[in-house]
Amino acid sequence: MLDIQKIRAEFPILSQTVNGKPLVYFDNGATSQKPQIVIDAIAKYYQEINANIHRGVHTLSQLATDAYEISRGKVQHHINAKFAHEVLFTSGTTHGINLVTNGFASILKPGDEVIVSSLEHHSNIVPWQMLCEKTGAVLRVIPINEDGELIMEAYESLLSEKTKVVTVNHISNALGIINPIKYIIEKAHAVGAAVLIDGAQAVPHLKPDVQDLDCDFYAFSGHKMCGPTGTGILYGKEAWLNKLPPYQGGGEMIKEVTFEKTTYADLPHKFEAGTPNIAGGIVLGTAIDYLNTVGFENIQKQEEELLAHATKSLLEIEGLKIYGTGKNKASVVSFNIDGIHPYDIGSIIDKLGIAVRTGHHCAQPIMNFFCIPGTIRASFSFYNTKEEIDLMVEAVKKAKTMLS
């Protein structure tokens, strides 16, 4: 079992008070908090080895380059990519997805089809819409059922030889539903389509194995997994990354530049134009080490207990409805109380020190499906406790009394 109090002591922000109350941080789906070891590693980089990478022969530049490439290797092993050069540093999930959609602009033809799901974050909808507008490809959408699960029969009936790309999130940010991505990938490959998985919500809870999943692309952000903001990873199969054109032109991504013709650098540099977030990339490796030290089995066990406790306690409140009632779920509870706007509850419980997200969670199509303006979303991390959940439940009850 995890020693939660010891773990909490590693996150300095958790011992703060907010509005005079102990902070209860349940907005982990938006961004996670950072342990001291991650905070220290950022300072250490600037204090000791700050220099630009891949450019200089001087010692600091070599130290920074080595640290950056060691971090890439850590990510490679963490997600079980075949090659380190299949791991691209990005600024986050959004950047990774746009890198791929930009590449597909030169591949898709009018009438080709792209399949997305109704459970997607706007980051994994809008870039594909832009791509379809540019190319004349058609966007198809996998519907969900009342439990917030993707309807697999509907997905399979959308697939055809016209399908060129399928994209779906591993775990839904708005509802916490875990999607059957291995099955989705297998079915897409059977019609020759490429698959991008949006792993932003999955990587804080589990260790994806990109070779076992056999996905073509897997995008995620560092800041939701205890790493710094402005960091992320796009995994892509070597063959696809060689096929796609570069996303941005600039320094670092070229072999040779003349005004007649420029040849591009080999992977991964072809997709890493300009000076990246060097400190962030290095420290993302520190965050991954940290999570592995805590252990993903321990993380999942703790989060499952929190989810069960929150679900049970919240449902005791009359008029409370949880959205996303499918069986396979991560530690997210999205709910509303009959007749009360989610924002009003969020504002009142904030005064009591409780941080939840209210609104559409960048997933308006889901809210439209349930005919609601939004939900209150409590998303738990392994450093949260049942006592914190009890505080939230009490606060929600108080808010309900005040508002009804």
Ligand X SMILES: *Cc1c(COP(=O)(O)O)cnc(C)c1O
Is residue 250 exposed (0-12), middle (13-18) or buried (19+ Cβ within 10 Å)?
A: exposed
Taking the C-alpha atoms of residue 55 and residue 248, their distance in angstroms, rounded to an integer, is: 19
Number of residues this chain uses to bind ligand X (CB under 6 A): 12
> Residue 246: phi, psi to the nearest 5?
-60, 155
Contact of 366 with 174, CB cutoff 8 Å: yes
Neighbouring CB atoms inside 10 A of 401's CB total: 8
Residue at 122: amino acid letter: H
Listed ranges 35-43, 106-114, 194-202, 328-336: which one lies at the site for ligand X (CB under 6 A): 194-202
Shortest Å distance, C-beta 110 to ligand X: 28
Name 133's Cβ contacts closer than 8 Å, sequence gap at least 6. none
Site for ligand X in 124-153 (CB under 6 A): 124
201 binding ligand X? (CB under 6 A): yes
Site for ligand X in 103-122 (CB under 6 A): 121
Contact of 361 with 377, CB cutoff 8 Å: yes
Interaction pattern, residues 271-310, with ligand X; x per rule: CB under 6 A: ----------------------------------------
Taking the C-alpha atoms of residue 85 and residue 105, their distance in angstroms, rounded to an integer, is: 23
Helix (H, G, I), strand (E, B) or coil at 376: strand
Shortest Å distance, C-beta 403 to ligand X: 29
Interaction pattern, residues 16-35, with ligand X; x per rule: CB under 6 A: --------------------
Q: Is 132 a catalytic residue?
A: no
Shortest Å distance, C-beta 149 to ligand X: 16
Contact of 140 with 114, CB cutoff 8 Å: yes
Smaller CB separation from ligand X, 65 or 90: 90
Burial code (b: 16+ CB inside 10 Å, e: under 16) for 145-166 equals eeebbbeeeebeebbeebbbbb
Smaller CB separation from ligand X, 65 or 231: 231
101 binding ligand X? (CB under 6 A): no
Smaller CB separation from ligand X, 221 or 331: 221
Q: Which of 132, 215, 226, 362 is catalytic?
A: 362
Taking the C-alpha atoms of residue 302 and residue 78, their distance in angstroms, rounded to an integer, is: 21
Is residue 230 exposed (0-12), middle (13-18) or buried (19+ Cβ within 10 Å)?
A: middle
Listed ranges 68-76, 79-87, 193-201, 317-325: which one lies at the site for ligand X (CB under 6 A): 193-201
* From candidates 93, 163, 286, 331, binder to ligand X by CB under 6 A: 93
Site for ligand X in 170-189 (CB under 6 A): 173
* From candidates 102, 169, 286, 375, binder to ligand X by CB under 6 A: 169
Smaller CB separation from ligand X, 226 or 399: 226
Taking the C-alpha atoms of residue 403 and residue 67, their distance in angstroms, rounded to an integer, is: 53
Interaction pattern, residues 214-243, with ligand X; x per rule: CB under 6 A: -------x----------------------
334 binding ligand X? (CB under 6 A): no
Positions touching ligand X (CB under 6 A) are 92-94, 121, 123-124, 169, 173, 198, 200-201, 221
Catalytic residue IDs? 362
